[in-house]
Structure formats: C-alpha cells, structure tokens
Amino acid sequence: MRQDLPPIALSVRQPSAWAIIHGGKDIENRSLGSVRAGRMDCRTICIHAAIGLKEAEYNWSVYKFQPNGVMIPRPDALPRRAIIGTVDVVDIVDHSDSPWFGGPMGLVLQNPTPIDPIPCTGELGYFEWHPDGDVAEPLPWMRKWGRNGQDLQTQDLFDDLPTAFKTAPPRPYK
C-alpha cells in the first residue's frame, strides 16, 4: 500500500465508483444495516472499484447519470477490482437534496482525488486494503457495448456526445 493513501477503503460498483471520483457524485447510498455492519463513519477513505458490473446495471447508470450532466466512459474503460481514488466521508445522512441521494442512508462525500488504479480485492463495508493481483480485464459484453443492434443510438465518430437510448433501459435492481 502507498504510504500516502488511507488504509481503509469502500468497494463501490462501477460506474458509481468512477462518478464519485470524476463525476461529482457526492452521495454513496447504503442501507442502515450496511452502514452499521460495515462500521462506516466519517473519515478519509479510498474508493475501490468492485469487480462486479452487469450490462443492465451499466445501461441503467448511463441513463440515470445523464440528467446530472455525467457522461460515463465506455464500460471497457472503467477500471474494476482496483483502488481508484480517495474521498472524505464528511457525514452520514438519512435525507439530502443531492440528486445523487436515493437512500435510505447516504455517505456524504467531498474532496475526491483520483489516483492511478492499484489492483486490489474488495470486501463489504469499510475494509483494510492491500495491493494484490491485477485490475480486472473487460468482459466480452464491455468490449462490444453500444455496437451492432443494441437498443442504443451511438455515434462512433462523435464520442463526446451523450449516449441516447431509444427506450429507457429496465431498472436492474429495486
């Protein structure tokens, strides 16, 4: 572990981990049970990009993040199974005016600082992290995302334009 990084991390699924560090996501939503079980409190932590990411989750996130002005990188460009930055947890709330709050509890985040990805296995709750292994390779669906008949309107020539969905993608979780 680098000496200048906090020893504690929180694993967050992509693309939310990316949005915390790069996209202005100032709330990480958790249940009250996970806050308690994960011994979550206010301090500076590392953000760990979890290895798990399903296509339906990614599509839903692209669709939901755009109204907040956030254009997520392609799924094959998002590091997974790695520490990707640090953030200050400054409060834990049960309501917020932030567009990122979805409850029931939210970790209020400030001062995101990106770092080059450091391979690391994640755990639930706050965990003491140690570098190991490799950053996860993109899955096959990630490499072909947005091409060939998906329910998307993408422009390979205009990568800076937001992705448009012909219809809203189904919500992958409740």
Q: Return the pLDDT at 64.
A: 87
Instruction: Reply yes or no on whether the pLDDT at 157 is more than 50.
Output: no
| pLDDT at res. 114 | 97
pLDDT at 115 exceeding the cut of 90: yes
The pLDDT of residue 128 is above 50: yes
Summarised one tens digit per residue, pLDDT across range 57-85 is 999 899 888 888 889 999 999 999 999 99
Instruction: Write a three-state SS string for the chain.
Output: CCCCCCCEEEEECCCHHHHHHHCCCCEEEECHHHHHHCCCCCCEEEEEECCCCCHHHHHHHHHHHHHHCCCCCCHHHCCCCEEEEEEEEEEEECCCCCCCCCCCEEEEEEEEEEEEEEECCCCCCEEECCCCCCCCCCCHHHHHCCCCCCCEECCCCCCCCCCEECCCCCCCCC
pTM: 0.86
| Mean confidence (pLDDT) of the chain | 88
pLDDT for res 90: 98
Task: For the beta carbon of residue 125, count every other beta carbon within 10 angstroms.
Answer: 16
Report the side by side order of strands in the sheet with 82-93: 27-30, 105-119, 82-93, 44-49, 8-12, 126-128
Q: Given a cut of 70, is residue 174 above it in pLDDT?
A: no
Q: How many Å apart are CA 108 and CA 85, to the nearest integer?
A: 16
For residue 173, the model assigns a pLDDT of 64
Of 117 and 103, which is predicted with more confidence? 117
- The number of beta carbons lying within 10 Å of the beta carbon of residue 124 is 11
pLDDT tens digit string along 8-51?
Answer: 999 999 999 999 999 999 999 999 999 999 999 999 999 999 99
The pLDDT of residue 69 is: 84
Residue 105 has pLDDT above 90, yes or no: yes
Q: Evaluate if residue 136 carries a pLDDT over 90.
A: yes
